Amino acid sequence: MGMAALLLVWALLHCTGTAVTMVRASHAVYPELQSLEAEKVDETSRTGYHFQPPKHWINDPNGPMYYKGLYHLFYQYNPKGAVWGNIVWAHSVSTDLIDWTALAPGIYPSRQFDVKGCWSGSATVLPSGVPVVMYTGIDPDEHQVQNVAYPKNLSDPFLREWVKPDYNPIIAPDSGVNASAFRDPTTAWYGPDRHWRLLVGSKVGGKGLAVLYRSRDFRRWVKAHHPLHSGLTGMWECPDFFPVAVHGGGRHYRRGVDTAELHDRALAEEVKYVLKVSLDLTRYEYYTVGTYDHATDRYTPDAGFRDNDYGLRYDYGDFYASKSFYDPAKRRRVLWGWANESDTVPDDRRKGWAGIQAIPRKLWLSPRGKQLIQWPVEEVKALRAKHVNVSDKVVKSGQYFEVTGFKSVQSDVEVEFAIGDLSKAERFNPRWLTDPQALCKKRGARETGEVGPFGLWVLAAGDLTERTAVFFRVFRANSNSSSSRLVVLMCNDPTNSTFEAQVYRPTFASFVNVDIARTKTIALRTLIDHSVVESFGAGGRTCILTRVYPKKALGDNAHLFVFNHGEVDVKVTRLDAWEMRTPKMNAPAQ
Ligand SMILES: *[C@@H]1O[C@H](CO)[C@@H](O)[C@H](O)[C@H]1NC(C)=O
Ligand SMILES: *[C@@H]1O[C@H](CO)[C@@H](O)[C@H](O)[C@H]1NC(C)=O
Ligand SMILES: *[C@@H]1O[C@H](CO)[C@@H](O)[C@H](O)[C@H]1NC(C)=O
Ligand SMILES: *[C@@H]1O[C@H](CO)[C@@H](O)[C@H](O)[C@H]1NC(C)=O
Ligand SMILES: *[C@@H]1O[C@H](CO)[C@@H](O)[C@H](O)[C@H]1NC(C)=O
Ligand SMILES: *[C@H]1O[C@@H](CO)[C@H](O)[C@@H](O)[C@@H]1NC(C)=O
């Protein structure tokens, strides 16, 4: 197609706004755009220290693993454009999860069993030390099949080349499976019966399924009679199933547990299991923590975990298709998740890029086993540069102050608030319990309250006409103040983040499981990175990532404020903020 024709297509798309789009694999598909290379890359809102390639579209993290001293991250990538399409497994390596080197794509369509696409999957490091990847291939009939690939050269720590055995696909949809809804194999685990197991995401009718397969030799896989688990939530994408250490279980509870260790009987008694699924219908994820019976291959969520759309999430913002891996170098479980753009497809075409990965997070089970806790991997601290701090500063009702002396556009901010008088907390309506997001919208950052809203305005213009609020509000759960329970809401309000009308800017929120009546303080850490606001409330109990695109609050014009719109005074007991350096982000290998 000549340049004029391209421009015509583009103009048509723009003017009518009704491009022929279809939805496949849950991504809007723009056939006319998916092979239009970005001519230039707009750096305006590009991130500095979040993972992204130099240009074009990315989505799900794939097959993360540690091998011979290197962290590997593969991810869904369109080498030809800034919208979804032409999907391959792009491949990057790092020694520290911070500086990344881009290699050539590791897995790309080359055989009948993946000729129409190489979609998401996982890595398993076999007991022999050999890493294997299992991924979804799209065959000539557009059926989703599961394939395996092995490294060509085990002495190459970069694992540059992968071999796809002729016996692929190793798992094809049988007559009981919808071949258009059968994807994203998990890391495999080994049972006491000497069989490997893995899960594939699927659905039947309105039910999401984690379909279970078993194998003796990693080659011939047989479907189990029942799925490991299912739920009335529509298609399950990107299932993840892994053990977590229990507090008091004889090992440090923050330590990760390798999926491959699952068959160890002594170990099995001191771990719980996590099942996470990504809901195709809502584009959110949820997880439960429970027990796994090796003999019956059944997973049962613990009482108290909601096993549906209202379940606990890793992140209550823009975070999807996540995948964890066990890091043997630091004995921890690390979580990767994809954050898409909140701007429009024409914006992405103009920018020449779309999608980032969230900062990798260490993940562990809380001491009481009621939820998972996440925290940016410790390596992130190595990026901290210029530091400023504030301590014991009271923010009176209706007041705010600016944190000065550093550039906040690419920064890491840790703050702790002490609350003066919790007895004034507003009444909590029990109906709000199931929908914190609606509560946040109703009681956004601009509404005044009693205890809160207080928190940060980030990526703010000097005159505050642009700002994204990350804040808390405290409510009292019943009218009897001597026996009341306090409810803490954490909220992210991007309503005033930009003047750009087209940008998608939902309020994101959740409750924070802290006993604030006892602590009387609450902490917040926010990683700010041009168009990313990634927040960790109460030491990682509630996380919210959001994408925003300020027009004024760019570069040196981005400011950071602390505000209090509640009647009750709060005190910033301490605030530490650092400018963040830019790591080597996917520079091509020499
Ligand atoms: C395998 O990788 C090692 C380490 O990079 C290299 O020295 C060796 O030449 C490679 N072997 C082949 C057959 O490519
Ligand atoms: C199979 O899944 C596809 C994709 O979600 C859906 O369009 C189709 O209706 C499903 N087919 C059946 C028979 O459920
Ligand atoms: C702020 O940090 C500096 C070191 O960067 C330290 O010397 C100083 O005591 C801190 N001030 C407050 C008020 O915390
Ligand atoms: C913030 O957003 C609201 C709702 O869109 C709007 O009414 C208000 O004028 C905005 N405030 C500023 C300072 O732009
Ligand atoms: C408040 O609750 C406490 C403890 O449940 C109870 O002893 C007290 O009578 C209650 N007071 C009122 C006014 O209901
Ligand atoms: C990210 O983009 C927004 C705005 O277009 C959509 O509403 C979300 O559904 C989408 N998220 C995912 C996971 O695709």
Which residue has the CA at smallest separation from atom 10 of ligand 4? 496
SS3 154: coil
Closest residue by Cα to residue 324 from 30, 50, 45, 66: 66
Question: What backbone phi and psi angles, to 5 degrees, belong to 316?
Answer: -95, 15
- Would you give the DSSP letter of residue 117? -
Distance CA 477, CA 461 (A): 36
Q: Where are the strands (E) in 377-431, listed by range?
A: 384-395, 400-402, 410-419, 426-427
Which residue has the CA at smallest separation from atom 13 of ligand 3? 391
Residue 142 is predicted with a pLDDT of 95
Q: How many Å lie between the centroid of ligand 2 and the Cα of residue 357?
A: 29
Ligand nearest to the CA of 445: 4
Token pair for 245:
């250490």
Residue 15 is predicted with a pLDDT of 33
Residue 481 is predicted with a pLDDT of 57
Architecture per CATH, 3-35+56-376: 5 Propeller (2.115)
Q: Where are the strands (E) in 328-399, listed by range?
A: 332-339, 353-354, 356-357, 361-365, 372-376, 384-395
Distance CA 118, CA 135 (A): 7
pTM exceeding 0.75: yes
CA distances from residue 545 to 259, 417, 504, 534, 554 in whole angstroms, order as listed: 27, 21, 14, 4, 19
Token pair for 99:
């500086």
Counting atoms of ligand 5 from 1, which one is nearest the CA of 480? 1
Q: Which H or E element spans position 118?
A: strand 118-125
Q: How many Å lie between the centroid of ligand 2 and the Cα of residue 545?
A: 31
pLDDT per residue of the chain (590 residues) written in tens, 0 to 9: 343 333 333 333 333 333 444 545 578 889 889 999 998 999 999 999 999 999 999 999 999 999 999 999 999 999 999 999 999 999 999 999 999 999 999 999 999 999 999 999 999 999 999 999 999 999 999 999 999 999 999 999 999 999 999 999 999 999 989 999 999 999 999 988 899 999 999 999 999 999 999 999 999 999 999 999 999 999 999 999 999 999 887 778 899 998 876 666 656 668 999 999 999 999 999 999 999 998 899 999 999 999 999 999 999 999 999 999 999 999 999 999 999 999 999 999 999 999 999 999 999 999 999 999 999 999 999 999 999 999 999 999 999 999 999 999 999 999 999 998 999 999 999 889 889 999 999 888 888 899 999 999 999 999 999 999 999 999 998 766 556 789 999 999 999 999 887 889 999 999 999 999 999 999 999 999 999 999 999 999 999 999 999 999 999 999 999 999 999 999 999 999 999 999 999 988 87
CA distances from residue 203 to 141, 158, 175, 222 in whole angstroms, order as listed: 19, 36, 13, 18
Write the burial class of residue 148 (CB in 10 Å: 0-12 exposed, 13-18 middle, 19+ buried).
buried
Which residues is 298 bridged to in the sheet?
A: 293
Q: Indicate if ligand 2 lies below 6 Å from the C-beta of 26.
A: no
- Would you give the DSSP letter of residue 208? E
Q: Indicate if ligand 1 lies below 6 Å from the C-beta of 152.
A: no
Q: Tell me the residue length of the chain.
A: 590
Phi-psi region of 555 (alpha: psi -120 to 50; beta: other; left: phi over 0): left
In this structure, is the dihedral angle defined by the CA atoms of residues 437, 438, 441 and 443, taken in order, positive or negative? Answer: negative
Q: Indicate if ligand 2 lies below 6 Å from the C-beta of 181.
A: yes
Q: Which H or E element spans position 223?
A: strand 221-223
The verdict on whether 60 is a catalytic residue reads: yes
Pocket test for ligand 4, best of 464, 493, 495 (most atoms within 8 A of CB): 495
Which residue has the CA at smallest separation from atom 1 of ligand 5? 480
Q: Indicate if ligand 4 lies below 6 Å from the C-beta of 465.
A: yes
Count of beta carbons in the 10 Å neighbourhood of residue 219: 12
* CB proximity list for 519: less than 8 A, separation 6 or greater: none
Which residue has the CA at smallest separation from atom 11 of ligand 1? 153
Domains of the chain: which residue ranges?
Answer: 3-35+56-376, 385-581
Q: Indicate if ligand 6 lies below 6 Å from the C-beta of 320.
A: yes
Q: Which of 60, 258, 307, 343 is catalytic?
A: 60
CATH of domain 385-581: 2.60.120.560
Which residues is 426 bridged to in the sheet?
A: 475
Token pair for 306:
């909601």
Which residue has the CA at smallest separation from atom 14 of ligand 6? 283
Q: Indicate if ligand 5 lies below 6 Å from the C-beta of 483.
A: yes
Ligand nearest to the CA of 482: 5
